[in-house]
């Protein structure tokens, strides 16, 4: 079984990004890291800065974006590489996670069992009047324990796993940066593909408490390069019905009787 993991990182997260890479390599995955700043972080390869495509380890590739692509940079390896490559699973991961030793095995096992994209973080959009994304959703977050897989409208791409055959993403599937979860949900909904949050304990995956995150900056509407609040709300208002319409497919798959692998 071959697994390719895509990760985007930013300056200031060298240590946590390196820890995520080490964990994934130790679990047998191949890793491609896209960095959204000019110089490869020292901590990821233990040497002088290197440019462009760099093999840090025979199973780890560094990709320099030359521009800030935001969180959707984690999909760059999938769009450019996986379609014609022999990987069985693709995973997208954030650079601030604390991963358990069975992370890769668990996500790929559930992905195979459900034959659908899966993850640890998910969101369901509520019925009724739209009151903004923060107040019109129910969150199945990383810190919430689940006893069984649950269908979700929006799969968090920081902890996502799927088979390359599930969905052939193109660069044009992604619009404004720092909205990878939304663009991924729209692409899955257009293809009528179910997605699930997987069973886990409350502490199975941890998160480093960075102060500057896309969510925090957007909720405070700081106007920074991480603030996507305006385009996020506009995109969700436009595509909310499409995302929710896919729920019928998801619920039908769920009703077939899903058991633990």
Write out pLDDT tens, residues 28-53: 998 988 877 654 444 444 443 333 33
Phi-psi region of 259 (alpha: psi -120 to 50; beta: other; left: phi over 0): beta
The Cα 27–Cα 103 span in angstroms is: 8
**Do the domain assignments include residue 261?**
no
CATH classification of the domain holding 92? 3.90.550.10
Residue pLDDT, tens place only, 195-231: 999 999 999 999 987 655 554 555 555 655 555 667 7
- Per-chain mean pLDDT for the chain: 79
Verdict on whether the full-model pTM lies above 0.85: no
Residue with tokens 């405070």: 220
What is the distance between the alpha carbons of residues 155 and 75, in angstroms, rounded to a whole number? 14
Q: Tell whether 20 is covered by a domain.
A: yes
DSSP category for residue 198: P
Domain count, the chain: 1
Of 53-57, 91-95, 98-102, minimum mean pLDDT range: 53-57
Quote the domain boundaries for residue 45: 3-255
What are the start-end ranges of the H helices in 148-222?
Answer: 180-190, 214-219
Q: Which of 126, 245, 260 is nearest to 198 (CA)?
A: 260
260 lies in a domain?
no
């Amino acid at each position: 079984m071959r697994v390719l993991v895509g990760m985007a990182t930013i300056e200031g997260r060298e240590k946590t990004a390196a820890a995520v890479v080490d964990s994934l390599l130790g679990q047998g995955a191949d890793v491609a890291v896209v960095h959204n700043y000019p110089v490869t972080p020292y901590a990821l390869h233990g040497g002088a800065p290197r440019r462009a495509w760099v093999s840090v380890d025979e199973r780890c590739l560094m990709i320099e974006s030359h521009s800030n692509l935001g969180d959707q940079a984690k999909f760059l390896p999938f769009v450019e590489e996986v379609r014609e490559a022999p990987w069985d699973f693709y995973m997208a991961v954030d650079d601030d996670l604390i991963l358990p030793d069975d992370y890769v095995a668990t996500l790929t096992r559930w992905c195979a069992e459900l034959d659908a994209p899966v993850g640890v973080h998910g969101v369901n959009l509520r019925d009724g009047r739209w009151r903004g994304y923060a107040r019109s959703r129910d969150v199945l977050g990383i810190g919430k324990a689940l006893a069984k897989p649950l269908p979700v409208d929006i799969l968090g791409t920081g902890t996502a796993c799927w088979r390359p055959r599930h969905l052939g993403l193109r660069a044009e599937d992604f619009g404004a940066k720092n909205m990878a979860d939304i663009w991924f949900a729209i692409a899955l909904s257009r293809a009528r593909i179910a997605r699930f949050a997987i069973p886990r304990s409350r502490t199975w995956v941890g998160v480093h408490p960075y102060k500057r995150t896309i969510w925090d900056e957007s909720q405070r509407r700081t106007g920074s390069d991480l603030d996507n609040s305006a385009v996020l709300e506009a995109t969700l208002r436009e595509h909310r019905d499409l995302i929710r319409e896919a729920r019928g497919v998801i619920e039908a798959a769920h009703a077939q009787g899903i058991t633990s692998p």
